[in-house]
Amino acid sequence: MKTIRRSIATACFLVIAATAVTSAAADTLPFLHPLFTDHMVLQRDIKAPVWGWSKPGQTVTVSIAGQQASATAGDDGRWMATVGPLTAGGPHTLQVTGTETVSVNDVLVGDVWICSGQSNMEWPVQAANNARQEIAEANYPQIRLFTVPKRVSPSPQQTVDGQWQRCTPQTVGGFSAVGYFFGRELDQQLDVPIGLVHTSWGGTIAEAWTSAEALMTMDDFRPAVTSLQNVIAAQSSGKLDFNQLMQKWWNENDPGSKQAWNAADVDASDWKSMNVPGLWESQGLSDFDGIVWFQTAVDVSQEDAGKAAVLHLGGIDDRDTTWVNGQMVGAMNDWNAQRNYSIDSGILQAGRNVITIRVLDTGGGGGMHGQPQQLSLEIKGGKTLPLAGQWSYKVSTALKDTTTAPQPLQNNPNVVTVLYNGMLAPLVPYGIRGAIWYQGESNAGRSMQYRTLLPTMIADWRARFGQGEFPFLVVQLANFMAPQQQPVESGWAELREAQWLTARNDQNVGLALAIDIGQADDIHPRNKQEVGRRLALSALEIAYHQDVVSGGPRFVSAEFKDGKAYLKFDRIGAGLVAQGDKLNGFAIAADDKKFVWGDAEIQADTVVVSAATIKSPTAVRYGWANNPDCNLYNQSGLPASPFRTDYGDSD
């Protein structure tokens, strides 16, 4: 649900830092990289890298399936041999000899896929639809699972703690549901071993999964990378702590901080009202990212005045600072964490008590979310006072008008490059067939940036693994939030468009739609089976060159004449079809871009759209909402991707 703000330039600090870490730790690095364990899958049909660390100059020999390769450890102790190409099959034993001798047993040769993204990729099998039956039936000896532990790092790491496992009812429950269902479909269609490497983290931003060097090629992220470097340098030198850096940023970017809106006696008569809990996007601040202040007052009895208390606020998306009667009681930078702030004795007073919260949202949903019962003031030895309901709020500054906020070096995944460093770099250059990616919710609201960021990240991963333009399969954002009754602008629709454009512009990027799978009230739709199946269809076409209908109708072109719009599509399979009595979801507009619902009908491979009130149309949009009512499919039962004919007009 979350966020922050092409030759490859050098992010010198991080590269130097990584080198220092490597040198210092060379003696403690393992003889064989931890990715090579019993039950692993080695990528078929390539020269597969096998690596580890030994004494400089030491020769290491790797053998498997009658093939053998040797390598010499460099000055840093690192050695790497390549074995293969090998054909699919097994099991084999991988033998590595040098200063040590290691045998890796039950090794299969097949296809390895990285499964990455945020919470919808992390979502486990045990929480998917029909979980009990799915787990009980998960006996797939050719599917092997590896989960990368969550880790953030300011510099690229070299090893990973983990263990390959056979796919069984005992091992699959906590694994990525999308990853598992994708792998299961490939196993059934291809009958080759499938290795799934799951590396994801809920609520994370795409730039956290991208290397510093790649981000330094983008104007939008160069300041954030530099800011991270400065925080590292400042904290390492002891000259400045993070709280000082953050306070300086608040004073420079937030009028509320400069004008002390946290004071108990601040004049809030001109503040507006919002129901809490609830994301502010659904309450008048559509697609807003930035700083918003909240305030409420609660009456405390004379008997409870002065007592210690705990302020329960549920989740806040994503960074908050909280005051009671002008006294700061807590702060946190984690959209998914529950706020339970202790209030010292002496702060609460008889009568009116003012609670003030400064919220910084850097992408996706924003504000105080959760359930009403999670918001309360619990007085020690006294009453528990409910806090859900109408709060006052005041918008301070939009994120686009601020400088890049400093990011703490603690376990915060929503910082540029830290997840690439901690959870992807340790996998490089393991042999893989491709990657599947379910992410974007946390970058919604920054779609124009995502148009460049996603292709940059894909190019970065491909360059790192050194295995060419491998298939990269993207899940387009599902439908979510309250359905819109009239044509609207939509941050989620724009993010879907950025994903669609990335796939359209790269023949090895696939797009699996979920526009008909989501749930209005849940950002985590449970039907991961169909998501996995659609990803597998994309893989069968792109990675395995099978003649399949891998996706739904895709908009190609528009012609406007005689008061109508004629829309052409490809990927229509046996033909276009409306699931329902008539086509829904098409809006049409003239030059003024005031969209109204259009009448749409299918004519062969064309959809014709018109509206009685639009005499000279110039633009059409389809499925253009957070949660659209749209029903254009092909006869293979796959939905059309939302689109707009005026996508080139965006800024």
Domain that holds residue 600: 554-649
32 and 76 inside one domain: yes
Identify the CA nearest to 47 among candidates 543, 428, 469, 431: 431
Q: What is the per-residue pLDDT for 165? A: 98
Rounded Cα–Cα distance for residues 411 and 50 (Å): 30
Question: 385 in a domain, yes or no?
Answer: yes
Identify the CA nearest to 575 among candidates 636, 634, 633, 631: 634
pLDDT digits (tens, 9 = 90+) for 546-587: 999 999 999 999 999 999 999 999 999 899 999 988 999 999
Q: Mind giving me the DSSP string for 621-638? A: EES-SSS----EEETTS-
- What single-letter amino acid sits at 60? V
287 and 433 inside one domain: no
pLDDT digits (tens, 9 = 90+) for 188-233: 999 999 999 999 999 999 999 999 999 999 999 998 898 888 777 7
Rounded Cα–Cα distance for residues 311 and 385 (Å): 10
53 and 195 inside one domain: yes
Residues β-bridged to residue 275: 390
51 and 161 inside one domain: yes
pLDDT digits (tens, 9 = 90+) for 54-102: 999 999 999 999 999 999 999 999 999 999 999 999 999 999 999 999 9
Identify the CA nearest to 118 among candidates 519, 523, 426: 523
Question: 4 in a domain, yes or no?
Answer: no
pLDDT of 396 strictly over 50: yes
Q: Last residue of some domain: 491, 518, 542?
A: 542
154 and 54 inside one domain: yes
pLDDT band at residue 477 using 50, 70 and 90 as cut-offs: very high
Q: What is the per-residue pLDDT for 593? A: 94
- Total domains present in the chain: 4
Selected residue with higher pLDDT from 412 and 305? 305
184 and 59 inside one domain: yes
Q: Last residue of some domain: 366, 401, 436?
A: 401
Q: What is the per-residue pLDDT for 441? A: 94
325 and 423 inside one domain: no
Question: 547 in a domain, yes or no?
Answer: no
What are the angstrom distances between the C-alpha of 117 and each of 149, 287, 420, 457?
Answer: 14, 22, 11, 12
**Range among 25-29, 224-228, 281-285, 344-348 with highest mean pLDDT value:** 344-348
119 and 203 inside one domain: yes
Question: 317 in a domain, yes or no?
Answer: yes
Selected residue with higher pLDDT from 484 and 635? 635
161 and 272 inside one domain: no
pLDDT digits (tens, 9 = 90+) for 586-644: 999 999 999 999 999 999 999 999 999 999 999 999 999 999 999 999 999 999 999 99
Distance of CA 477 to the CA centre of its chain: 10
453 and 497 inside one domain: yes
pLDDT digits (tens, 9 = 90+) for 301-346: 999 999 999 999 999 988 999 999 999 999 988 877 899 999 999 9
Question: 604 in a domain, yes or no?
Answer: yes
8-state DSSP, 247: H
174 and 27 inside one domain: yes
Question: 411 in a domain, yes or no?
Answer: no
Token reading at 234: 């400042």
Question: 584 in a domain, yes or no?
Answer: yes
31 and 86 inside one domain: yes
Q: Last residue of some domain: 355, 378, 401?
A: 401
Question: 409 in a domain, yes or no?
Answer: no
- Look at the pTM and tell me if it is higher than 0.85: no
